[in-house]
Amino acid sequence: MDPARADILAARHRLQDAGWIPRDAEAFRHLPPPPAAVWLGEAPEATSAGCDAHPLSGAGWTLHPLGQTPQGRVDARWLDAADPAQRKELFAGLPLPTYPDGAAAPGDSPQHDAAPFAWVHRALCRRGLRLRIGGEDAAGRGATETVWIQLRHQPRSAVEAPMLVIDVQAGVHCVLVETHHRESAACEQPVVQNLHAHIRLGAGATLQHLRSVQPGAADRVAHHLQLQLGPDARYEQGLIATGSRYHLQRQVVELAGDRAEARSAGLLLAAGADLEQQVRMLHTGERTRSHIEALALASGAARAVVNAHTRIAPGAADAEVRQRLTGVPTGGQPRLVLRPHLEIHHDQVQAAHGATWGALPEDALFYARQRGLDERSARGLIIEGMASALLARAFGDPQFLESLDLAGLLRQAVAQHLSDDPTVPTVQQETAHG
């Protein structure tokens, strides 16, 4: 038996022995994921017509320049996980989901809860992309090298487990725009997608990462990001995500190097659908800083959950951590769950967390209506302002946001959210009612 096949069978056996995520798992108890059979393509509905895409259709990962900016050096390898040599290269240097004895790391039960997703992914993964950003020779690069790239992903099949591995070399500044916007030309069937990404930042590297994930209404999607930051590395992420039949965005950031810094801002838009974001910051280096912020908007019968967990290890002296979660129902009777959590094992830290829940400000709506806007436009204007401020705090550079045309992306996402909310009257409805 070839090594690739043996690794796939071993992952299936490990999943069978350990079992799927229980309904009372702490990290998933508010929005339990579908069973393992769904993610493995073994559920009864998986027997319907598939959507295997032709290699030239633009499906899978595609790499693009970002506007007129110079791309810089990017070494990209598209790898076939069914080929033993390429599978070895794809998974090289990546950690297994659990420790060799099968136990979770001390104090890391929520991380252990997600291990079955990783075993399913290892069993089903067929293709992946590895990127080395900035080249390999640090001595031959300028100190201020900036690499601008865009990654797009379209489903290749009805049930899939894509893989992405990114290594940002020491001292490199990278701007990455990653989009997952369903196009019917790529796949017209509901998709089950269990995506795993591993991102590593070398000493002094910076990654500004804008992610936009807009699945189809019937899709079941789980994206897992594992990040490791070296000394003086900085990671900034802005996420725009919309709801679906099941949608999980989970990221685990390990601030391993001294003075590493990470910021995460999530805009969650759930209109009559499910959406959950889980963010875990693990501080192990000294003088590290992290900031988690989320704005969740839900309407109809949506279920939206934000789980923020920051752990400061015993040796992480002088850590600074912040969490700020906000939930806004925009119509109907949605269920919004906000869970900030700090786990502190060192006395010398600065930490704060909080969660607020409430409707859009009535005074702002009143003044917007006074300008002649209908209710939907007024709501959209206010939400766009809140979302822009959220992402501006994550990236901290107005010119950077303008260069990515973030305003246009937000306008489209917010308009779609409000159009999916039947409780917000349109101009025609307001006119009909006088």
Q: Residues 6 or more apart from 317 whose CB is under 8 A from it?
A: 286, 287, 346, 348, 349
What pTM did the predictor assign? 0.91
Instruction: Report in angstroms the alpha-carbon separations of 199 from 129, 130, 209, 229, 235.
Output: 12, 10, 11, 9, 10
Report the pLDDT value the prediction gives residue 423, as an integer from 0 to 100.
63
Report the pLDDT value the prediction gives residue 433, as an integer from 0 to 100.
41
Report the pLDDT value the prediction gives residue 431, as an integer from 0 to 100.
47
Report the pLDDT value the prediction gives residue 425, as an integer from 0 to 100.
59
Per run of 10 residues, the mean pLDDT along the chain (length 434 residues) is 87 91 91 96 69 62 78 88 96 76 47 88 96 71 74 94 97 94 74 97 97 96 98 97 98 97 97 97 98 96 97 96 96 94 95 91 81 84 91 84 83 88 56 44
Report the pLDDT value the prediction gives residue 284, as an integer from 0 to 100.
97
Report the pLDDT value the prediction gives residue 104, as an integer from 0 to 100.
44
Report the pLDDT value the prediction gives residue 57, as an integer from 0 to 100.
55
Residue 108, token pair as written in the block: 């890391």
Report the pLDDT value the prediction gives residue 370, as an integer from 0 to 100.
79
